[in-house]
Structure 1
Amino acid sequence: MSTPREELHALIDELSDKAAADLLPELRLLKMQAEARSERAPSSGAWPPAWFGSIDGTPPDLTEHIDEILSAEFGRSPK
């Protein structure tokens, strides 16, 4: 019995040039998807992840200043 790779090679060798050309974009997509899956780091399932909290926070919540923001922008003509 052959390996999947050998079987795939045999099937491709049996294709006409037109059929191979039609199949090529789909094979490229499958290859990219397989590479993307293998490049992803396996999830440890731990929370929070190691990168969590690795950047500085944002300015204070804008909702605290919504009245000031709206009053400053109200009546301003749209650009």
Structure 2
Amino acid sequence: MRYAIVVEKTENNYSAYVPDLPGCVATGHTIEEIEREIREAISFHIKGLIEDGLTVPPPTSIVEYLEIAA
């Protein structure tokens, strides 16, 4: 499966979340760290859903970038 993630820069680090997996979040000091941490968070989140007998939501979010003239 391929889930979209949103990475945001904060004052001291980065944070990431998965729109299709509510509550699945991670933080890190670098982009490399946040990518590693959110991968682990997604895996952990999905395993928890399965263990609880819940449905794993399919990835449905679409990511696009728009060029805006200032």
TM-score, length of structure 1 as denominator length: 0.31
| More helix by percentage | 1
Q: Tell me: higher relative CO, structure 1 or 2? Use CA pairs within 8 A at least 6 residues apart.
A: 2
TM-score, length of structure 2 as denominator length: 0.33
Q: Which has the larger radius of gyration?
A: 1
| More strand by percentage | 2
